[in-house]
Amino acid sequence: MPSSSKERTEIDERLLKVLSNKERPSRPSGLTNTFTFGWRALLKLKYVPEQLMDVTVFPIMFLLMFTYLFGGAIAGSTGDYLQFLLPGILAMTVVTITMYTGMELNNDISKGIFDRFRSLPIWRPSVLVGMLMMDALRYTIASTIMIVLGLIMGFRPDGGTVGVILSVALLVWFSFSLSWIWTTLGLILRTEKSLMGVSMMVLFPLTFVSNVFVDPTTLPSWLQAFVEVNPISLLVTAVRGLMHGTVTFEQVGWVLVASVIILLIFAPLTMYLYRNKR
């Protein structure tokens, strides 16, 4: 038996050399972890391309349907209504698909993948942040498809290319912050169906009782009061203003404030539930 700590250390070193002649790889950084999980989410699209239907087929259906069904009745012509509708329907579509973030997380939990990730020596938030980064790409794809289709149909943004790019950036940022609500619910609710039900119960009134489809001044005063403080209405007003060159700092500021409030509440709550879920 070794008689001193020095001898024990030498034996341990010799054993390590026998067992492995390679250096242990360095621990990956949080940024590397995040991009790895973002890449994982991207690979899901490769093997299950049907997941892109919500950012390809549905936006096209919504824009065509609402423009040609309601354009003549509300604005007198589909062309005039398209100028008003497209920023609103763009915001509504992208905000609606944010709920799939929580559904993907809930699906990982039900399959046991979630527990495996928590056991790995990685930066804990990287699993969620990587997933949300991929979702931001999906929001950008949906926005691009709708804007291109709108241009083909006759949409002409007075704010020019810069206004359109800024509006999409603002929309993606707001949707990113909103996604944290669904990750929180994805950790609380037990099934995808229950999460979808709660998500639609929240999103349906927020998106339809807003200024997406009509000017709030045409609504009853009691309903108009709700529409004016509805965060979706604040988002649509800013996006519409950026696209048409009529935006104010106040309009963009309210959207940024709402995004930060949502992020400050639900991001820490999500991480708390993520660390302590049983």
Which DSSP state fits 216?
Answer: G
Instruction: Show pLDDT as tens, one digit a residue, over the chain (278 residues).
Output: 445 666 667 766 776 666 666 666 677 777 788 888 888 888 877 777 766 777 778 788 888 888 888 887 777 788 888 999 999 989 988 888 888 888 888 777 777 777 787 777 777 778 888 888 888 888 888 888 889 999 999 999 998 899 999 999 999 999 999 989 988 988 888 888 888 888 888 888 888 889 888 888 888 888 888 898 899 999 999 999 999 999 999 999 999 999 999 999 998 998 888 877 66
Q: Does this model's pTM top 0.85? A: no
Contact 103, 196 (CB under 8 A): yes
Q: What amino acid is encoded at 68 in this protein?
A: Y
Q: Over the stretch 176-222, which tens digit does the pLDDT of each residue have?
A: 999 899 889 888 888 888 888 888 888 888 888 898 888 888 888 88
pLDDT of residue 1: 47
Q: What distance in Å separates the CA atoms of residue 119 and residue 122, rounded to the nearest whole number?
A: 9
CB atoms under 10 Å from CB of 231, counted, come to 19
CA dihedral over 72, 76, 79, 80, signed as positive or negative: negative
Angle at which helices 126-153 and 78-96 cross, to 10°:
170
Owner of token pair 């400050």:
264
Residue 80 burial (10 A CB sphere; 0-12, 13-18, 19+) = middle
Q: What distance in Å separates the CA atoms of residue 168 and residue 52, rounded to the nearest whole number?
A: 18
Contact 106, 16 (CB under 8 A): no
Question: Token pair of 112, please?
Answer: 């046991």
pLDDT of residue 266: 93
Contact 46, 52 (CB under 8 A): no
